[in-house]
């Protein structure tokens, strides 16, 4: 990956808190662990060998940690003043008053010929980056180092596309400018709406990623998985847009103009939405990797029954 010129950077975005721009680590790990369950043997082997060949040590080389790499990479770049290289790739900010996916994706320009997806450009959205990195994964002629990076970006961005505040925007950076007080939550210095959807509402489920992924896997039916598997990344973004517009912003939308009060009814709905989106993301990530790395599709009946069996055994032991 080359260093992209910073002359294209938007200073106002560079001023945003970096930690509040993605599912937290636990959300990404949970999604990757759900996906792992439904990888075909061929795709699973390909994932393992790609991660084993990784020479970057920002995160450990298992699938759960690898799914958090893109955030660490962006933040590491920030320390080197290269935050703008990849930071836009984590979301698709579609305005709720005038929804326009093409505008949110900076015109949806195709990747310039012979440019690696990891080389840019900085003005691209999560939808298009998932497709670009997916195409590199599917192409056996892709440079070996680039394929490893493509896998780590796909593991992460497929998750980001399902965060309910990574698709809708109300001229507030996906709720990053909305200050909130949330019933039942301790408040630290981080009190932005976006951060609650990234992290606090996931943490409130009160399970580490391994346990949460098993619980969620046991709740997914093969019929649900088959239904969720229908769409493409742009459909995932529009689905998250609608969910985020209705439930994360609400009507009238939570405003950045004054501190907003969030009650327990909102929180309960948010936790339901978070679980649904983690499940959908895990199922779709599995399908995407199976297709790109093995030209196969998951056997939902087999992999979801297996997840359910693991979960019931775990319950029996408690
Ligand atoms: Zn992210």
**Distance from the alpha carbon of residue 61 to the mean position of ligand 1, in angstroms:** 18
**Distance from the alpha carbon of residue 90 to the mean position of ligand 1, in angstroms:** 5
- DSSP output for 89-101: GG---EESSS--H
**Distance from the alpha carbon of residue 88 to the mean position of ligand 1, in angstroms:** 9
Q: What gap in Å lies between CA 253 and CA 247, rounded to an integer?
A: 9
pLDDT at site 203: 85
Strand partners, 168: 94
| Token output for 76 | 């590491």
**Distance from the alpha carbon of residue 302 to the mean position of ligand 1, in angstroms:** 30
Task: Collect residues with CB below 5 Å from ion ligand 1.
Answer: 22, 71, 90, 160
**Distance from the alpha carbon of residue 96 to the mean position of ligand 1, in angstroms:** 21
**Distance from the alpha carbon of residue 143 to the mean position of ligand 1, in angstroms:** 24
Q: What gap in Å lies between CA 114 and CA 112, rounded to an integer?
A: 6
CB 22 within 8 A of CB 160: yes
**Distance from the alpha carbon of residue 26 to the mean position of ligand 1, in angstroms:** 12
Q: What is the gyration radius of the CA atoms in the chain, in angstroms?
A: 19
**Distance from the alpha carbon of residue 49 to the mean position of ligand 1, in angstroms:** 24
pLDDT at site 306: 66
**Distance from the alpha carbon of residue 313 to the mean position of ligand 1, in angstroms:** 33
**Distance from the alpha carbon of residue 157 to the mean position of ligand 1, in angstroms:** 6
pLDDT at site 269: 95
**Distance from the alpha carbon of residue 75 to the mean position of ligand 1, in angstroms:** 10
Tens digits of pLDDT across the chain (318 residues): 544 333 333 333 333 433 334 578 999 999 999 999 999 999 999 999 999 999 999 999 999 999 999 999 888 776 666 767 899 999 999 999 999 999 999 999 999 988 999 998 999 999 999 999 999 999 999 999 999 999 999 999 999 999 999 999 999 898 899 999 999 887 766 689 988 888 888 888 878 999 999 999 999 999 999 999 989 999 999 999 999 999 999 999 999 999 999 999 999 999 999 999 999 999 999 999 999 999 999 999 998 976 566 555 544 443
pLDDT at site 85: 84
HSE-up (13 A, CA, CB side) for residue 165: 30
| Token output for 174 | 């996906």
pLDDT at site 315: 47
CB 163 within 8 A of CB 23: yes
**Distance from the alpha carbon of residue 281 to the mean position of ligand 1, in angstroms:** 13
CB 168 within 8 A of CB 94: yes
Q: What gap in Å lies between CA 170 and CA 245, rounded to an integer?
A: 9
Phi, psi of 302 (to 5 degrees): -75, -50
pLDDT at site 78: 66
Strand partners, 182: 262
**Distance from the alpha carbon of residue 7 to the mean position of ligand 1, in angstroms:** 23
pLDDT at site 17: 39
| Token output for 166 | 């990574």
Q: How far is CA 238 from the centre of its chain?
A: 14
Q: Name the residue among 194, 197, 174, 190 with its Cα closest to residue 278.
A: 197
pLDDT at site 81: 65
Supply the DSSP symbol for 117: G
Q: Which domains does the chain have, with CATH numbers?
A: 14-317 (1.10.575.10)
């Amino acid at each position: 990956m080359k260093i992209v010129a910073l002359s294209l950077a938007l200073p106002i975005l560079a001023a945003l808190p970096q930690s509040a721009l993605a599912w937290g680590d636990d959300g990404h790990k949970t999604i990757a662990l759900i996906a792992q369950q439904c990888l075909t043997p061929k795709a699973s082997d390909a994932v393992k060998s790609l991660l084993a060949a990784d020479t970057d040590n920002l995160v450990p080389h298992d699938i759960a940690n690898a799914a958090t790499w893109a955030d660490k990479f962006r933040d590491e770049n920030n320390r080197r003043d290269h935050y703008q290289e990849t930071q836009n790739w984590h979301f698709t900010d579609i305005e709720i008053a005038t929804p326009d996916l093409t505008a949110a994706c900076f015109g949806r320009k195709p990747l310039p010929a012979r440019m690696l997806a990891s080389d840019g450009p900085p003005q691209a959205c999560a939808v298009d980056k998932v497709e670009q990195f997916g195409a590199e994964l599917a192409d056996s002629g892709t440079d070996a180092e680039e394929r490893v990076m493509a896998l780590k970006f796909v593991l992460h961005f497929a998750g980001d596309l399902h965060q309910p505040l990574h698709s809708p925007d109300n001229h507030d950076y996906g709720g990053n400018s909305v200050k909130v007080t949330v019933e039942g939550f301790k408040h630290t210095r981080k009190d932005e709406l976006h951060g609650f959807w990234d992290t606090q509402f996931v943490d409130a489920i009160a399970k580490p990623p391994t346990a949460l992924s098993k619980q969620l896997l046991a709740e997914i039916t093969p019929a649900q998985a088959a239904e969720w598997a229908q769409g493409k990344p742009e459909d995932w973004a529009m689905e998250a847009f609608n969910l985020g517009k209705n439930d994360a912003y609400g009507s009238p939308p939570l405003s950045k103009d004054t501190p907003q009060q969030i009650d327990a009814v909102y929180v309960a709905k948010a936790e339901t939405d978070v679980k649904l989106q983690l499940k959908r993301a895990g199922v779709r990530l599995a399908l995407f990797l199976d297709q790109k790395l093995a030209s196969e599709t998951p056997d939902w009946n087999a992999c979801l029954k297996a997840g359910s069996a693991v979960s019931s055994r775990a319950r029996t032991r408690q």
